[in-house]
Structure 1
Amino acid sequence: MSVSKLLFRFSLLFLFVSCASSKKIKFDDYVFKTKNEKQAYLNSYDKALKLWDIPYSEENIKTTYGTAHIVVAGPKNGKDLVLIHGMDASSTMWYPNIKPLAKNHRIYAIDFIMEPGKSTLTSKPLSSEEIAIFYKEIFDHYKLKKFDIIGASRGGWIATLLATQKGNSIDKIVLLSPAQTFKFIDKPRKTSSALLLKLFPSEKKFSKTLTTFSTHPEKISPIYKRQFYLANKYAKSNSSMLKMTPFSDDELKSIANPVLVLIGDHDVINSEESLERANKYLTNSKTQTIKDAGHFLSIDQSKTVNNAMIDFLE
């Protein structure tokens, strides 16, 4: 089967999930059917956040589109560093990376407003332009200037989107296997397991999905794994994934920031082609393939990824 047909089926499946999960709601990309389901997820979030094992505070700020939840950590005099998590992962996903990152950086980990987490959308699903406004309002609230940013998977796409905005205050950028950023998903047949998990959630499908995206799923904390599973089980999505298309040559060329792009050698989202395009069109880029790592490279090879990020940022 051709790649174009696979992408077409991939899109149809996303649309099916969207229609099936949107019948009873007027807005909000992700919703919980009952208060009990939402509370179970929030309880799992709180337990997973404790895996950070460093002092942190949780803050909520009002934005045009709803309430943004931010986890703040690290020295107040450290260089500001924004963390944007992957799809369904929430800010708790940074637990294998947060200690070295927070040593010399003031961390602002933001829950994406259209996913499971503690941010709450109170408007219709956001366009790309509105996503950029949402994050800018947070940056303005904290008076962030010349800050660094790390984005994983969908968070990498968002970080790239923010870097293309004129007049942004971003300094250095780290992209961890950014989804749909340099090219469309590399292996749509394999990633379909994640879509089937949304349609028919089960522990078995969840385990298969982890095996698809991670070379070492055994490294994933059972506490975090529980939260990630509940995000897929309870929170129904009419995902904005379809709106995420690779950036044009000119958009990538407009990014003058130093950029580090990391992908795993077993990544099902990216390939060497992604790195080739990054090297060609990002004017100040550095790329690296992480051995024995999948899409969840920040967990699969956390020490290697942490060292690469710290060396680049500092």
Structure 2
Amino acid sequence: MSSAFRTPEGAKAVRESYEQLLEHWPSPSRRHLVPTSAGETFVIESGPLDAPAVVLLHGTAANSAMWLSDVAAWTQRFRVFAVDIIGDAGLSAFNRPALDTDAHARWLDEVLSALSIQRTSLVGISMGGWLSLDYATRRPERVQKLAVINPAGVGEPRNVLIWALPLLMLGRWGRRKMIERIAGAPSGAPSPDQAAVATFLELIFSHFRPRTAALPRFDDAALDRLSMPVLAIIGGRDVFIDAPGTRARLEAHVHDLTMSFLPDAHHFVPGQTSKIEAFLAAKPTASA
């Protein structure tokens, strides 16, 4: 397999739609194609040059467009770097290194070095949350703060392919039902921005080859190495992760943890922009 997409035409359609969405990036930005040994990595950089660095890592079957509703606020006080994960539905190279090695941490080392970032805060969702945790457990000295939304690899693994793949085979109806299971059923008429994102997700799911390898589960010793302040936002109705187990393990092993458990939230948790911004901006307490 040489592409994350089923056909060149599908890849082109997703790329063009993504580039159109990026025209609405709400802050002045600079776009990079960063060279790494795992392939070129696409990064959108925005915010004050002298502000603290924050690196954003999206979920799988997605790209940095998922941060469109957040970056306007975050770039008021942070230098934000939205990274398209390699091997996914963005503009980075197709490369999927083994997940049970340090390959992704070494890839992120190279990205940070190319961007002249010595230490940064990380914000990640789903697989991006797993990548953030993986990096923070291996390179705790390089992570200022860590915010994760429904991160994989903490609770007991779930075999989502049992229900996800059959839905993907049922055409547009199935793709919409899958999005509902991920984000919850829509309430009321969507805004134009919400409608555009939903259409984009449908496009991705119709052309993208999802990852099928299970994300490794972090052992207790790895979680014990999370010495930085950690914010965890967990949706109780998430279909991808074991939400209660994720909460319990983080509370048991992370010393400086802010837990936000939202029992009625799904995998996509809207409205968290201010909460994450406040966490990233807070000064360390005297006891930290």
Q: Specify the TM-score bucket, using the shorter chain as the normaliser.
A: 0.7 to 0.9
Shift in CA distance, 308/270, structure 1 to aligned 2, threshold 3 Å? farther
Query: In the alignment, residue 118 of structure 2 is paired with which amino acid?
Result: K
Contact 1:144-1:169 within 8 A present in 2 as well? no
> Aligned to 2:174, which of 201, 205, 208?
205
Shift in CA distance, 201/89, structure 1 to aligned 2, threshold 3 Å? farther
| Separation of aligned partners in 2, 1:58 and 1:227 | 21
| Separation of aligned partners in 2, 1:53 and 1:312 | 22
| Separation of aligned partners in 1, 2:202 and 2:171 | 9
Q: Unmatched 5+ residue regions in structure 2?
A: 282-288
> Aligned to 1:194, which of 148, 164, 170?
164
The percent of aligned pairs where both chains have the same amino acid is 22
Q: Unmatched 5+ residue regions in structure 1?
A: 1-24
Query: In the alignment, residue 164 of structure 1 is paired with which amino acid?
Result: T
Contact 2:86-2:92 within 8 A present in 1 as well? yes
How well do the aligned residues superpose, as a CA RMSD in angstroms? Answer: 2.1
Task: Quote the residue 2:285 is aligned against.
Answer: none
Task: Quote the residue 1:31 is aligned against.
Answer: 5
Shift in CA distance, 53/166, structure 1 to aligned 2, threshold 3 Å? closer
| Separation of aligned partners in 2, 1:231 and 1:213 | 14
Residue deviations 1:206-262 (CA, integer Å, cap 9, x gap): 11111111135446722222222222211224x2532x1220011100111111100
Contact 2:55-2:80 within 8 A present in 1 as well? yes
1:205, distance to aligned residue in structure 2 (A): 0.9
> Aligned to 2:105, which of 128, 132, 142?
132
Contact 2:87-2:96 within 8 A present in 1 as well? no
Task: Quote the residue 1:313 is aligned against.
Answer: 280
1:100, distance to aligned residue in structure 2 (A): 1.4
Moved segments of 4+, more than 6 Å: none
Query: In the alignment, residue 280 of structure 2 is paired with which amino acid?
Result: L
Residue deviations 1:43-92 (CA, integer Å, cap 9, x gap): 11012223432222221011101110001111111110000001111010
Query: In the alignment, residue 202 of structure 2 is paired with which amino acid?
Result: Y
Contact 1:201-1:232 within 8 A present in 2 as well? no
| Separation of aligned partners in 1, 2:263 and 2:68 | 21
1:152 aligns with 2:151: no
1:279, distance to aligned residue in structure 2 (A): 0.8
| Separation of aligned partners in 2, 1:153 and 1:249 | 19
TM-score (norm 1): 0.81
Count residues with an aligned counterpart.
275
TM-score (norm 2): 0.88
> Aligned to 2:223, which of 252, 270, 278?
252
